[in-house]
Amino acid sequence: MSKPKTKTTDGLEILHRRFLQDKPESQALLNEISLNARVAQMLYTARKEKGLTQKQLAELVGTTQSVIARIEDVNYEGHSLSLLQRISQALDRRLEIDITPITPGGV
């Protein structure tokens, strides 16, 4: 028998209970959105720290400014590992990928 839920005023907990709990497809979508947003933010931050425009980074990588803009867009889903590697090298960074266990209720 499942444990009764206690009342909460925590907005994130309420959203989790309402939309994610026991709904693996919702959790998978949230995980994907979160990953895309993290990649976009990391690339944007690293580019800005290096003092480069999107066009300058594109020239270093051998692509166009519009490709860099797409990759920095949180809604972009077509990340290529080889392109991420080239961008990382152009920014004097190392690309690291990690596979970690999913924690219950976590993203």
Closest to 50 measured CA to CA, from 76, 42, 74: 42
Note the pLDDT of residue 3: 53
Angle, alpha carbons 29-30-33 (nearest 5°): 85
Dihedral angle sign, alpha carbons of residues 65, 83, 39, 21: positive
Q: Which residue has the higher pLDDT, 100 or 57?
A: 57
CB 60 within 8 A of CB 92: no
pTM over 0.85: no
Most confident of 62-66, 73-77, 102-106: 62-66
CB 90 within 8 A of CB 53: no
Torsion of CA 92, 41, 34, 80, to 10 degrees: -50
When pLDDT is averaged across residues 15-37 and rounded to a whole number, the result is 72
Q: Per-residue pLDDT tens for 16-25?
A: 666 666 666 7
CB 36 within 8 A of CB 74: yes
Cα 64 to Cα 58, 59, 96, distances in angstroms? 5, 7, 24
